[in-house]
Amino acid sequence: MLSPIESAVHPSWLPALDALSDEISSIQDFLDAETKSGHNWLPAPENVLRAFAQPLDRVKVVILGQDPYPTPGHSSGLAFSVAPGIALPRTLSNIFSELQSDLGVNAPMSGDLTPWSRQGVLLLNSVLTVQSGATGSHRGKGWEQVTGAALNALKSRPSGAPVAILWGKAAQQCGGDFDPRGVISSPHPSPLSAHRGFWGSKPFSRANDLLIQAGIAPIEWELA
């Protein structure tokens, strides 16, 4: 059972999400059916809406993913992040390699991206659940409407939209309405596509450059 929206997200997100009660109810029915059918799904229910725990008006950068890691123990509710102590998925390992190359920082000791989230990096998958072991299995079940509403709320903020880092075609389609002047696009960092232009794309320094140009404090991307 998903946690109630009112207790799972920061109150600043409620105006954007409250109108989607029917969609969220439908998603809950689908997840209940998955459970009854013996299909385990990820992440843990209390983490499904974790990306929205930080205030909407504090989001400086949004990084869009597709859906959670399908490997049990990997998905944490934040796109691309894993819990402390979990071996790095290859996609995250590639992200960290580019982080080191881009900024010259030390190799992160953990795949937990919570420090980014706390600084205003919204790590958002377009689909917030997945059947264990089955990538893409929960697409088209209603999550896209939920995350789309959240992105629309960001784009229409009085303070302006955040910087958008869009990795791969799915993210670029989902975030296609962002002002292109604040968008950093490249191929996805997965092992299948990183060689097509993710390497050397310098998303972290470019995002900070855009923030500084807007008079916003940059992100401290280095992880302990």
Told to judge if 67 belongs to the known catalytic residues of this protein, a careful annotator would answer yes
- Average pLDDT along the chain: 94
- What is the pLDDT averaged over residues 159-186? 92
Total domains in the chain come to 1
Q: Is residue 222 part of a domain?
A: no
Q: Is residue 223 part of a domain?
A: no
pLDDT at 18 over 90: no
CB proximity list for 143: less than 8 A, separation 6 or greater: 27, 126, 127, 128, 129
Around 23, how many Cα atoms within 13 Å sit in the side-chain half-sphere? 17
Question: What domain range is 165 assigned to?
Answer: 5-213
Residue 170 confidence (pLDDT): 85
* CATH number of the domain residue 136 falls in: 3.40.470.10
Residue 44 confidence (pLDDT): 95
Torsion of CA 224, 106, 93, 111, to 10 degrees: 0
Which pLDDT band holds residue 3 (cuts at 50, 70, 90)? confident
β-bridge pairing 163-167 and 61-65: parallel
Q: Is residue 116 part of a domain?
A: yes
d(CA 53, CA 12): 10
The pLDDT tens digits of the residues spanning 65-122 come to 999 999 999 999 999 999 999 999 999 999 999 999 999 999 898 999 999 999 999 9
Q: Is residue 17 part of a domain?
A: yes
Contact 91, 190 (CB under 8 A): yes
Catalytic residue (one of 29, 67, 179, 209)? 67
